[in-house]
A and B are shown apart, each in its own frame.
Chain A
């Protein structure tokens, strides 16, 4: 049984939102694409899913999805996590679109906290769910002030924060939602993806859209736009590494989740990107712990 064949709910417009609202969101998206990394305010709607659970991503997806799209939804890199299932069902139900778990088959991918390992192509759009769109928020709580700082590219405070990290900890102590600069202009929150995924955003051929429903902001990284993770010459940006490989597919180049196996603390490392892992296993790759 396919989700696309699931009974479509009646009484609501295609992809839930009314056309007026979709137009409003599309205007915000176009503006966001025109000014890469700039947070465009939009009149976010109450969705039938709670704020904080992907309503920004859902509204962006709803505004751009077409009947011939193939949608993939992931949370933590996995297609089968409960909220990913819930959002995928929402669109299968309200838009009747085809869904897939294969990264290469998808035309539209909505994600929370990960960028797929498989490189994206120009025919694809990646929609990020964003909880806090403002990269300067933990340094300055006031929106009026942070908007001013972006306007003037007044980013000294961010560099000072990173410098203080190095002075205190010998490294930049940020593991996820690691700030980036887009097209040499705006500092942008990449959403809480691990910094491991930051390099995938750089000059990515796919369009990347970011929706923050509760905070009512949309921003974008157009295809092939340079995205630089902030760093210093003598402390260059680096990503997480593991001494282990994926115990299912043996991958040594993917982001690994740590799974605790028993109460003596035995651990197993597996790909967080479930599709990547499954594809590798289908191609015959095996890890040390497969079948265990």
Chain B
């Protein structure tokens, strides 16, 4: 059979060989192991897991290595892998109230049951380049930990529940046990979208995009007066209930960052003034993402709360249709594909219109 093996095919092969070489870099430099990426570029792994929608540190590390550190490319690799995976079970809802907390802060109360736990944070570091790190040392002294430093969750009630007891914050009734949760990777997103789908979309959404949107609300484009009610990070158990057993079985533990924003609400005709909530959740240590997500989640509730929706961050279709960096990056970069047929159509059109305009100009001028 005749097969077109022309320039295109050879060029693609060669380009991929060049890519493999560039990925490895100078062979005198030791190759990165997945464990090194997992351990020392842990926050990159966290971001790729979050936006790639797969909790697997090793696969995320592999994706980062394969993508030469391009995190959006790594997210794409992980997504393309994820889409082929079968669904074995749906877990029970996680309970972040039972998190083994490594970090927990609240900006709304000076002190609270369980206390403020800073944990591993960039906050309050002075952003001075640490040349000791460049020399291969520094920051390696083990931290003396007290038993119980990773705090037992029971002694750390959620801030929202403290406000809840006083009726100051909107009630959040859990869905019925058997209520199904939407999945936008299995059903196309339609508008208006329910909050479960919005949160799923935001959780998968690009951190930079959410950050900019959240920031825009802080600067007045749809301001919603947020307070960081609580941010907690730590380990949560994942349980499933196998139908043949009928009771929950723990299948593993994941690290999560959760942010509950507390937002002012003036009240409406039907609701007294009270605080409202915005929610953010991300895999691993991803505080900026979780906070941005919580602000945008609250913004997207404008209509539900009877607020005037005027800003981009309050516009459901605008936010949800443009948050996915795998979609956005693909469509942006498709401009590199040949468009010469369309361009030819434009050329023909513009030439015709110019010829016509020229002819018309000639007759009127002279």
B187 touches A43 (CB 8 A): yes
* Chain A CB within 8 A of B134 CB: no
- A76-84, A156-164, A180-188 - the one binding chain B: A76-84
Which residues of chain B come closer than 8 Å to A55, judged between CB atoms?
330
Chain B contacts of A50 at CB under 8 A? 76, 326, 329-330, 333-334
Alpha-carbon distance between A82 and B189 when the two chains are bound, in angstroms: 32
**B317 and A143 form a contact (CB under 8 A):** yes
* A53 with B317: CB separation less than 8 A: no
Q: Interface size class for chain B?
A: 35 or more
B188, B332, B339: which contacts A216 (Cβ < 8 A)? B188
A80 in complex: contacting residue of B8, B342, B348, CB < 8 Å: B8
CA distance A240 to B352 in the complex (A): 10
Q: Which of B186, B317, B334 contacts A142 (CB 8 A)?
A: B317
Q: Is B212 on the interface with A (CB-CB < 8 A)?
A: no
Q: Which residues of the other chain, A, contact B329 by a CB distance below 8 angstroms?
A: 50-51
Complex: A285 Cα to B86 Cα, angstroms: 54
On chain B, the residues within 8 Å of A53 by CB distance are: 330, 333-334, 337
Whole-angstrom distance between the alpha carbons of A237 and B3 in the complex? Answer: 38
Query: Contacts A52-B330, A144-B191: A258 and B347 contacting too (C-beta < 8 A)?
Result: yes
A194 and B344 contact, CB distance less than 8 A: yes
A173 touches B327 (CB 8 A): no
Stretch in A96-104, A120-128, A200-208, A227-235 touching the partner: A96-104
Residue of B nearest to A84 (CB): B8
Is A253 at the interface (CB under 8 A from chain B)? no
- Set of chain A residues within 8 Å of B4, measured between Cβ atoms: 79-80, 85, 101
- Residue from B7, B191, B345 within 8 A of A194 (CB atoms): B345
Q: How far is the CA of A48 from the CA of B331 in the complex (A)?
A: 14
Task: Known A50-B76, A52-B331; judge A12-B84 contact (CB<8 A).
Answer: yes
Is there an interface contact between A113 and B339, defined as CB atoms closer than 8 Å?
yes
> Max chain B CB contacts within 10 Å: which of A170, A177, A214, A256?
A214
Point out the residue from A82, A100, A131, A175 that lies within 8 Å of B1, measured CB to CB.
A100
Would you list 13 pairs from A and B whose C-beta atoms are within 8 A, ordered by A residue?
A: A46-B79, A46-B82, A46-B83, A52-B330, A52-B332, A85-B6, A99-B1, A131-B331, A144-B192, A174-B349, A175-B348, A240-B348, A240-B349
A interface, CB within 8 angstroms of B:
1-4, 12, 16, 18, 41-48, 50-53, 55, 75-77, 79-86, 89, 98-102, 112-114, 131, 142-144, 169-171, 173-177, 192-196, 214, 216, 240, 242, 255-258, 272
